[in-house]
Structure 1
Amino acid sequence: MFFRQVTGWLCLTLALFSSNPSAYGWNKPTHMAIGAIAYHDLQSASPQTVDRVVTLLRQHPYYQRQWLPLMDSLQLPATQRDEYLFMLAARWPDDIRNRDPYHDKPNWHFINYIYAPKQGMARTDTTLATGETILQAYAQNRQILTSPAPDSAKAVALCWLFHLTGDVHMPLHTTALVDPQFPQGDKGGNLFRIKVMMSSPTSNLHSFWDGMLLHTDTYASVDSMAVGEQRDFTRKQLPQLGNPDVTAWSKESFQLAQDNAYRSNTLQPGTAQEGSLLPPDYVATVRPIAQRQVALAGYRLADELVTDLGS
């Protein structure tokens, strides 16, 4: 029935689309901040969960050869090392992109719900085919974390849960805009060419959302962002925290993409040579939304860790 309801170009899209280019969710510093939010939240609410997470992360395949030497080189004091491990865990799946074929899973970072506004369509019951989605990956890694698997495998799964919790809260990691300009989807905004200002180089909508909040990955800058997020968005201000379902989180993000990232299809893409200028109020409007999503991700990650590791 679905395929009979859409035009030929959308049918062709659903039948043929099978890949997505490498696309990061939040940039690495923002993922690190999500990890830091979870750390701070757990330090006060469930310190035993922090201990369990740190114990597992010390069994990660990258701990001895990369993470520990890095912390030594940064001369991080003992009081900061546990938090920094949370930060490293959250960014690790992006650090290994195209570098570690064994652990790298490009399709795990997103799901392409179909947003075809010219057809009056926004579907969460149908997705563009891309292999395993972020929802399947989340379930798989949570299963590993709560299984009798070796601690090294659990540590890898733990990093994926850190990272995927962040990615699913980035609106453009749940959405494919499908229309005559993008008959195979705009790949989560990666093909949607924009300029922030007339003097800015042409970029894309996905990259803009990726790096909107934080650009430096030092411990101090990331920790400062995490503290600010928790000050500006307390748990009491986020009633969505009552829903622990990752599928529901993805649908929240999909709605935000439609209403805010694409502005209900009023945002116009440019060309590869010349991006379309964002509306004057765009940045000021979407930045608080991105900040709220990051806070939600950090708190939800903390809650998931308590559920899976706190007992």
Structure 2
Amino acid sequence: MSVGTIVCASLWSDFTSPEKSDERYNELCPKESSIAETARDDFDKEIVHIDSKGAIIFVIAASTFLVLLFFFMSSWFVWVLIVLFCIGGIEGMHNCIVSLTVRKGRSCGQKTVSVPLFGETSIFSLVVLLFCVAFAVFWAATRQESYSWIGQDILGICLMITVLQLARLPNIKVATVLLCCAFVYDIFWVFISPVIFHESVMIAVARGDKAGGEAIPMLLRFPRLFDPWGGYDMIGFGDILFPGLLVSFAHRFDKDNGRGASNGYFLWLVIGYGIGLVFTYLGLYLMNGNGQPALLYLVPCTLGVTVILGFIRGELKNLWNYGSDPSLSTEHSEV
């Protein structure tokens, strides 16, 4: 599920962008074409380009929030997180369904209705929104059931696909700052925090030890097969989003420079991410199931692969300053 989420998020723009065959349609229906262009422009304005300073601030803020969760976590606080997760999941699920459906069938978004506070809204979009709200409410009401992991994973995957569309890394320099900070963050709060707080802060928060066992929903779950205790394999959103930002950048870099699967970076990073997950589960096995900082394995297997491949191909300087030095990007795209 983790690998699939990253691949889908990286290729999402390819799935939802107009086909070349739509050019004739745009000529015949200029009004709808202009609406689609406006929607794309609005989406581009929402994109957040992460810089080095923002990456450091984000990791510091995440650490602060984790400590607050550890000391002040209670059942009502977890409920706040559940509500926020549902809101994010609804928006992500709505975005995924609408963008895919409208891409395949243009007629879906043609009929509109006037809605108070929202103005003119597509009927199809409104119906999808109501479905997503009902789905999230059903999950929240049945989150303690054995099948609730399905709804949680669907909402979480849609949320992460949307986040990876809106947040982007401009180059490897920023990716190095972000992933190295996340690397230290994960190791500290899993392995080193017990020395200070007498227990692993990350693991205690993930399990909801101080909230009556009410775990936070910001993770993907999958039931362990043949486990008599009914346990789950879990991976946090951060272990998908941080490497996912780098994998998404690799796809954009390959696309901008006309790279294929063999001479590009995207495929190799997806393979590296998968191998990193294997190492994570190997660490779990060797440490008798004790929680592992997944980024300890995922960062070297993604960022490390990028740096090594870039060095071997003589493209490390271009990757490092990509987007900040137009001459490098232009020179490379002409090759």
TM-score by shorter chain over 0.5: no
- More helix, by proportion: 2
Larger Rg: 2
TM-score for both structures, normalised by structure 1 = 0.24
